[in-house]
């Protein structure tokens, strides 16, 4: 008896539907949460957004980066497993964005330098960075000082952050 290849392919496909990484024990149900970050009325891209639960309940972490529209693509991870979304809860929002330093080289270029040149380069970049104004005000980068919060319910969550309101 010959079984057509299409039948074998179909059975294989159906069996593999359940394949893939499984959520670790205790991984929470996730909901949509939209965090928008702006500066000077414009979207702030490439900012790191971390959500810190006010009442930690598991071994998962939630965060992401803002895109060119200033919207953070938030993801919850536990170990090597991760999925888009945020568990229900009340969160502190912590932001970070490195300053753009003129003349900064890629890590690959720096690693090719002889040690003495690498040390000189690192000192020069540190000097330049210390003379620059941070992109994100310090209080928003510190988990103990940030006034930013968001509540995520089964209906989701949303926060719009204009960091100029916190600049001094």
32 and 76 Cβ atoms separated by less than 8 Å? no
Same domain, 41 and 69: yes
Structure tokens at 10: 């179909």
Global pTM reads: 0.74
Taking the C-alpha atoms of residue 40 and residue 48, their distance in angstroms, rounded to an integer, is 18
9 and 66 Cβ atoms separated by less than 8 Å? no
Read off the pLDDT of residues 111-155 as tens digits, 9 standing for 90 and up: 999 999 999 998 988 888 888 788 899 999 999 999 999 999 999
Q: Is residue 141 part of a domain?
A: yes
Percent of the chain scored above 90 by pLDDT?
60
Specify the higher pLDDT residue, 106 or 160.
Answer: 160
Q: Is the pLDDT of residue 67 over 70?
A: yes
The whole-chain average pLDDT of the chain stands at 86
Per the structure, the count of domains in the chain is 2
Same domain, 84 and 54: yes
Q: Is residue 59 part of a domain?
A: yes
Per-residue pLDDT, 19: 55
Confidence band for 8, pLDDT divided at 50, 70 and 90: very low
Confidence band for 12, pLDDT divided at 50, 70 and 90: very low
The residue segments making up the domain with residue 167 are: 22-98+135-168
Per-residue pLDDT, 96: 95
Same domain, 128 and 146: no
Read off the pLDDT of residues 88-102 as tens digits, 9 standing for 90 and up: 999 999 999 987 788
Full DSSP string of 25-78: TTPPP-B-EEEEEEETTEE--S-EEEEEESS--SS-EEEEEB-TTSBB--EEEE
Same domain, 87 and 149: yes
Per-residue pLDDT, 125: 86
């Amino acid at each position: 008896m010959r079984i057509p290849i299409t039948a074998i392919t179909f059975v294989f496909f159906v069996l593999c539907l359940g394949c893939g990484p499984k959520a670790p024990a205790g991984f929470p149900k996730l909901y949509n949460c939209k965090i928008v970050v702006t500066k000077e009325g414009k979207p702030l891209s490439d900012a790191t957004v971390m959500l810190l639960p006010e009442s930690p309940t598991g071994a998962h972490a939630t965060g992401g980066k803002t895109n060119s529209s200033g919207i953070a693509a938030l993801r919850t991870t536990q170990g090597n497993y991760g999925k888009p979304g945020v568990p229900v809860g009340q969160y502190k929002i912590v932001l970070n964005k490195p300053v753009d330093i003129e003349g900064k080289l890629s890590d690959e270029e720096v690693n090719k330098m002889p040690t003495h040149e690498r040390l000189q380069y690192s000192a020069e970049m540190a000097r330049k960075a210390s003379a620059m104004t941070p992109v994100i005000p310090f209080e928003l980068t510190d988990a103990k000082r940030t006034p930013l919060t968001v509540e995520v319910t089964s209906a989701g969550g949303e926060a719009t952050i204009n960091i100029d309101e916190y600049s001094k």
